[in-house]
Amino acid sequence: MNPDQVAFLFDLDGVVIDSMPLHTLAWQEYLERHGIYSLEVAERMHGRRNDEIVNAFFGEGLSPDDVFRHGAAKEALFREKMRPILQKHLVPGVLEFLEKFESIPKAVASNAEPANIDFVLDGAGIRSRFDVIVDGHQVSRAKPFPDIYLRAAELLGVAPRNCIVFEDSPAGIRAGRDAGAQVVGVQTHTAPLPEVDLLIRDFHDVSLEAWLQGRAVRS
């Protein structure tokens, strides 16, 4: 392990792709098909895994197979809606940022379902930009616990303290913080993002490069 090596660890939804509004819409539509109506879908789903969301809305009495089935059906609906507009929903500047810093080791570390991670990375043609991909099913505890970021850092061979996490949710920020990384909040929605080292609107934000230069991170 190079003690001075820096790495970038990216959440997916809300960081690489501005997908949260469409996830909310897909959940609302799916829940309404099952007679469940809620004005708190966005708040109750943000930063959580599908099994947690399904249990929150359908109750804790479902079998594991039913929990999986509901989650998979909702994600299929999301992909159906996102497929024709995927490229337009990439967070502004993310493609240029990945290219500019191509020499920096990078990972996707996301609670998103593996099928959705594949859908976004392959659909946007950016899988090759990442050295490591870790999802919430590969660790014992998903965000807000730090396991996913610790695992990504381990696979990259970079000390967590030298990692910069890009996150858009309080749960993800906590995970990055507890992993010992620095955290950049990406404000792709209106929810407050406390306890970040830097807050940006998107990857065109001029404050990002200045902040990275201040930490001797060079492209």
47 confidence band (pLDDT: 50, 70, 90): low
Q: Is 19 buried (19+), middle (13-18) or exposed (0-12) by CB count in 10 A?
A: buried
35, 106: one domain: no
What does the longest C-alpha to C-alpha distance in the chain come to?
Answer: 54
* DSSP-based three-state secondary structure for 47: coil
188, 103: one domain: yes
183, 118: one domain: yes
User: How confident is the model at residue 103, as a pLDDT?
Assistant: 95
CATH code for the domain of 170: 3.40.50.1000
12, 28: one domain: no
CA distance 109 to 75: 18
- Do the domain assignments include residue 32? yes
User: Looking at the predicted structure, is the pLDDT value of residue 128 above 80?
Assistant: yes
Fill in the amino acid letter for 172: G
Residue with tokens 């493609």: 95
75, 173: one domain: no
24, 14: one domain: no
Q: Please identify, among 55, 84, 113, the residue that sits at the C-terminal boundary of a domain.
A: 84
Number of domains in the chain: 2
User: Looking at the predicted structure, is the pLDDT value of residue 209 above 70?
Assistant: yes
Instruction: Give mean pLDDT, residues 123-149.
Output: 95
Residue with tokens 């990692």: 163
- Summarised one tens digit per residue, pLDDT across range 7-44 is 999 999 999 999 989 999 999 999 999 999 887 888 87
User: How confident is the model at residue 159, as a pLDDT?
Assistant: 96
Contacts of residue 4, Cβ cutoff 8 Å, sequence gap at least 6? 162
132, 194: one domain: yes
User: Looking at the predicted structure, is the pLDDT value of residue 1 above 70?
Assistant: no
95, 36: one domain: no
List the structure tokens of 153: 């850092």
Instruction: Give mean pLDDT, residues 167-178.
Output: 95
List the structure tokens of 155: 């696979």
pLDDT, the chain, mean: 93
Instruction: Give mean pLDDT, residues 147-162.
Output: 97
CATH code for the domain of 74: 1.10.150.240
CA distance 55 to 59: 5
User: Looking at the predicted structure, is the pLDDT value of residue 182 above 90?
Assistant: yes
Q: Please identify, among 84, 108, 124, the residue that sits at the C-terminal boundary of a domain.
A: 84
108, 118: one domain: yes
Q: Which domain holds residue 47?
A: 20-84
Fill in the amino acid letter for 133: I
* Predicted TM-score of the model (pTM): 0.91
67, 97: one domain: no
- Do the domain assignments include residue 2? no
Of 6, 4, 9, the C-alpha closest to 175 is 9
79, 118: one domain: no
Of 11, 5, 13, 2, the C-alpha closest to 130 is 11
User: Looking at the predicted structure, is the pLDDT value of residue 82 above 80?
Assistant: yes
Contact between 182 and 197 (Cβ < 8 Å): yes
80, 145: one domain: no
Sign of torsion over alpha carbons 82, 87, 88, 89:
positive
- Do the domain assignments include residue 1? no
